[in-house]
Amino acid sequence: MSNQPRKLTVVVAAYDEEPIIARNLQRIVEELAGREGWDWELICVNDGSGDRTGELMDQFATGKCRVRVLHHRRNFGQGRALRTAFDACKGDVIVTLDADLSYGPEYIFRLTEALDEKNVEIALASAYAKGGLVRNVPFYRRFLSRVGNRYLARMSHYRISTSTCVVRAYRREVIDAIYLTSDGMELQLEILMKAGMMRFRVCEIPADLLWSKDKASDAKFGRVSKMRILSTIRLYLLMGWLSRPALVFMVAAMLVVLPGMYMAMALLVRCIARIARNMHLGFLGAVSAGLSETFNAYTYSFFISGALLLFGLQLSAFTMLMLQNKFYFEELYRSHQAINNPTATPVSKPAPSEDQRRAEPDER
């Protein structure tokens, strides 16, 4: 076994973080320097800050060969900043952190350890996992995040409690295997969606989310643009739809078919009762009379139940076609990635344990 230290890249993207950036970068470096067995680097991206964030980053990196600073000429968004850092990473393991360290730097190595212990390709820090904790976060933000993440969990490939958190660890093959395009916070969801297509495994560890008093004050409901809140809700809905569109049509089909079936069964029971009362006319005569009486008595119910069943069956057929198209698309995507980047595709593994099965993409 090689005694070479493993290569680790820690990524921090910052925008207008002048009051805290130097202190937080120092905390990260101290955490990295205190752990042996890793050849680490810290990549900082200044996403077009309008304050002295970029200047303070440059000052911090001066004389530190393991710290690199990249600058955007303007603010492009968190996703673009992380993509810029990914292109410059040299590590075999890549850890992304929030610039404000809402999750402390100790999660760097907790996440890297989770990659090995649970034999996965992506490890997430989750305040909503069992054992996690959320502190000093405004109620509306916690509510929106909790509901949004539950919705995304239902719509995504993975059974996880947090899909939007930035604090993650990736094996290098994940970043090499997927082509990313998002510029904003939706990058976190895009990564999970495409990682699921590539059948990478994901786990999450419980984490303590702690907002500073200043951040909590700035994020109070009255100070936040309502358009920004609506934009976040729209983003969650859209990304969930893109992750699993067939599920929406499947649910819609069930909501249409079930009432139609209920009405049809009720009509059938009434029709059978009328047929039984007309058996003196003979079997065919009783059936004809029973159908005629039932139709005349419940004409609207016949048309409504028939329309619901027909529409529901059409939705079900459309859902099957979408699932088929999704299957072929993912097969083509994986084949394309395997041809163009064969070293980045997941290798075959032995039968997974129960914990590993929970980490695998949900194919339903």
Q: Is there a single domain that holds both residue 215 and residue 91?
A: yes
Q: Is there a single domain that holds both residue 229 and residue 304?
A: no
The pLDDT assigned to 238 comes to: 66
The pLDDT assigned to 207 comes to: 93
The pLDDT assigned to 12 comes to: 97
Q: Is residue 363 part of a domain?
A: no
The number of distinct structural domains making up the chain is: 2
CATH classification at residue 213: 3.90.550.10
Q: Is there a single domain that holds both residue 267 and residue 162?
A: no
**Spatial separation of the C-alpha atoms in residues 74 and 106, rounded to whole Å:** 31
Q: Is residue 362 part of a domain?
A: no
Q: Is residue 67 part of a domain?
A: yes
Q: Is there a single domain that holds both residue 190 and residue 72?
A: yes
The pLDDT assigned to 199 comes to: 86
Q: What is the pLDDT of residues 161-220, one digit of tens each?
A: 888 889 999 999 999 988 888 888 889 888 988 888 888 999 999 999 987 766 655 655
Q: Is there a single domain that holds both residue 153 and residue 298?
A: no
Q: Is there a single domain that holds both residue 228 and residue 327?
A: no
The pLDDT assigned to 250 comes to: 80
Q: Is there a single domain that holds both residue 180 and residue 167?
A: yes
Q: Is there a single domain that holds both residue 202 and residue 269?
A: no
Q: Is residue 349 part of a domain?
A: yes
Last residue of a domain, one of 189, 223, 243: 243
**Spatial separation of the C-alpha atoms in residues 202 and 217, rounded to whole Å:** 33
Q: Is there a single domain that holds both residue 317 and residue 185?
A: no
The pLDDT assigned to 216 comes to: 55
Q: Is there a single domain that holds both residue 225 and residue 161?
A: yes
Q: Is residue 171 part of a domain?
A: yes
Q: Is there a single domain that holds both residue 223 and residue 275?
A: no
Which residues in the chain land under pLDDT 70?
1-3, 155, 213-244, 323, 326-364
Q: Is there a single domain that holds both residue 232 and residue 291?
A: no
**Spatial separation of the C-alpha atoms in residues 275 and 44, rounded to whole Å:** 80
Q: What is the pLDDT of residues 71-119, one digit of tens each?
A: 999 999 999 999 999 999 999 999 999 999 999 999 999 999 999 999 9
Distances (CA, A) of 16 to 46, 199, 223: 9, 36, 17
Last residue of a domain, one of 219, 243, 267: 243
Q: Is residue 361 part of a domain?
A: no
Q: Is residue 14 part of a domain?
A: yes
The pLDDT assigned to 94 comes to: 97
Last residue of a domain, one of 243, 270, 285: 243
Structure tokens at 261: 């079936």
Residues ≥6 apart with Cβ < 8 Å to 35: 109
Q: Is residue 1 part of a domain?
A: no
| Coil/strand/helix, residue 357 | helix
Residue 31 lies in domain: 7-243
Q: Are 290 and 275 in contact (CB under 8 A)?
A: yes
The pLDDT assigned to 226 comes to: 45
Phi and psi at residue 137, to the nearest 5°: -100, 130
